[in-house]
Structure 1
Amino acid sequence: MTRTDPRKQVEALLPLAAGKSQQAVADDVGVHASTIRAWLKNPVFAGELARVREAAARKPFDADAVMAAVDEAEERLRGRGPVVVVIPPGTSASRRRQLLAQGIARALEAGK
């Protein structure tokens, strides 16, 4: 699998958070719809999308908070921010170890 340019992932965050279809976002960003589906299955991307959606859903709407959430997501998706390991509830012990090992590997590769 080839690594996707994190800039494309960042570009996809706002339209996905706003409820735009996966196909429409894929067309706008310049990737295949299956790439969007793969990103949504990726716990790191899914976690960043959840944070942006949460910021967008706050009442009253705060555009600055939404953009701050996108900026923070960009830092993490590009590997410049802290490494975030998302472990979904109900994850088995062996899968938790695997996810943590992947997070440690990402941190080491990024020189953190």
Structure 2
Amino acid sequence: MLGEIKYRLGGMLILLVGIVIAWVAIWQPLHQAELGADAVTWMPRIVVLVAVCAVFGFYFVVTGNRYPYRNVERQSLTTAGWILFAITALAAVAGFFWMDATLKSLGYS
């Protein structure tokens, strides 16, 4: 019971970290672009970190690691881990293309 609560609290912390990173690295460059800044700097790799925080944070909050994502003895992913990995990859790719398309539509290359 206590372990599950730790995972859920950890998931909330991961979500909070993801929100802060998204605010600084995604929302602020978009806001600068909407305000017409001469140049907008953003790091495409940060979208991957935001996707990891969102997917795993949500997973831990909802399940409390009831379904382990890794097999410790074999040092490999379980089925749940592979599903989380696939969702994270899709979210990262979608986030990258969305951010890129949004910046291009605002006139930035």
- Scaled by the length of structure 2, what TM-score is found? 0.31
- Scaled by the length of structure 1, what TM-score is found? 0.30
Higher relative contact order (CA 8 A, sep 6+): 2
